[in-house]
């Protein structure tokens, strides 16, 4: 189990900031970058200071988030990079400069991905965003120094966060933080309502199984904070995410029954899914219909390779 240094030992003191009854005991400040491709940075109040989850995609958006966080008037005690996607770590150097005393945490898999750029996300984002995004060398210079593993406990006084590591959802690593005392899960991109899934790296069956298991695994869970949407009641968010992922799986099952997904079948699957989820937000800076089409392409290729 992971226990933070003594400077984090004070009690976690939290009050309401959202209208939902499920959020009545938790003070969570949220900075959301503008649409499209909005992403959330969370600042959770504790008596030791703020625990920040995600640091935005670009330097400019990170600076906006830092400005909002500084207005809270509390020091930043810790920063968590929960997933090795660029929208969660691109602004880390800005946060480190603004809050040099903060401890920075990430999973082994996330740190490895940031160090090696094994998925190629850093290179592609740097090419697209230029000076507003870090180079590979800059990412390596600011790597998290504290490693989180599945089952670790982050303690902030009398409240703790269980670390739940989820491999092979929509990324090689997703680090969720669960507060049993507050019945709250920071689920990153594992559970989101109203957000188009990103399936390039996903094991779809494993992701669905993880979502389905959450209610049983965390029986007291009431509220879920996602990476790209507003906080939502847990049962609702889980049901919505499951429905979204199952729609992909069902379409793939039907199209691949003869071993191949034709262009016509993929186009029809895209149209059907878009019709069923017309208001889902785009992510990854890819227009929604294009991302849905790519999702089917990636997942069809993944299935055929695994057979």
72: domain CATH number? 3.60.15.10
* Residue 129 belongs to domain spanning: 6-242
**Same domain, yes or no: 219 and 88:** yes
Is residue 6 predicted with pLDDT exceeding 60? no
Q: Let me know whether 122 and 267 are in one domain.
A: no
Same domain, 47 and 181: yes
- pLDDT score of 67 more than 50: yes
Separation of alpha carbons 49 and 268, rounded Å: 50
pLDDT at 158: 64
- Specify whether 112 is located in the same domain as 226: yes
> Are 203 and 252 in the same domain?
no
Is residue 1 in some structural domain?
no
How many structural domains does the chain have?
Answer: 2
Span 185-234, pLDDT tens digits = 999 999 998 889 999 989 999 999 999 999 999 999 999 999 999 999 99
Rg (CA), the chain: 19
Asked if residue 254 and residue 131 are part of one domain, the reply reads no
Q: What's residue 220's pLDDT?
A: 93
User: What's the confidence (pLDDT) of residue 21?
Assistant: 34
**Residue 127 forms part of a structural domain:** yes
| Helices 204-217, 234-255: inter-axial angle, 10-degree rounding | 150
**Are 159 and 271 in the same domain?**
no
Q: Which residues are CB-contacts of 91 (< 8 A; sequence separation ≥ 6)?
A: 55, 56, 57, 58, 59, 61, 62, 63, 65
Q: Are residues 232 and 270 in the same domain?
A: no
Mean pLDDT, the chain, whole residue set: 88
**Residue 114 resides in a domain:** yes
């Amino acid at each position: 189990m992971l226990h933070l240094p003594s400077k984090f030992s004070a009690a976690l003191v939290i009050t309401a900031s959202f209208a939902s009854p499920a959020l009545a005991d938790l003070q969570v400040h949220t900075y959301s970058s503008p649409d499209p491709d909005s992403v959330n940075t969370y600042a959770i109040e504790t008596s030791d200071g703020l625990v920040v989850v995600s640091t935005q995609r670009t330097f400019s958006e990170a600076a906006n988030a830092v400005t909002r966080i500084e207005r809270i008037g509390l020091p930043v005690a810790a920063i968590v990079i929960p997933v090795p996607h660029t929208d969660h770590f691109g602004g880390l150097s800005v946060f480190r400069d603004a809050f040099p005393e903060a401890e920075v945490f990430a999973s082994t898999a996330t740190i490895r991905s940031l160090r090696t750029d094994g998925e190629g996300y850093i290179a592609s984002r740097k090419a697209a965003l230029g000076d507003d995004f870090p180079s590979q060398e800059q990412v390596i210079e600011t790597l998290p120094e504290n490693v989180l593993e599945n089952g670790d406990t982050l303690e902030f006084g009398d409240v703790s966060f269980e670390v739940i590591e989820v491999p092979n959802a929509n990324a090689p690593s997703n680090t969720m933080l669960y507060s049993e005392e507050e019945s709250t899960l920071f689920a990153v991109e594992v559970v989101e309502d109203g957000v188009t899934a990103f399936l390039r790296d996903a094991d779809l069956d494993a992701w669905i199984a993880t979502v389905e298991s959450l209610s049983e695994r965390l029986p007291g869970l009431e509220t879920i904070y996602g990476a790209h949407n507003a906080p939502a009641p847990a049962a609702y968010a889980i049901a919505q995410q499951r429905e979204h992922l199952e729609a992909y799986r069902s379409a793939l099952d039907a199209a691949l029954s003869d071993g191949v997904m034709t262009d016509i079948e993929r186009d029809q699957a895209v149209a059907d899914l878009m019709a069923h989820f017309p208001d889902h937000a785009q992510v990854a800076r890819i227009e929604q219909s294009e991302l849905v089409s790519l999702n089917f392409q990636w997942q069809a290729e993944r299935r055929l390779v695994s057979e």
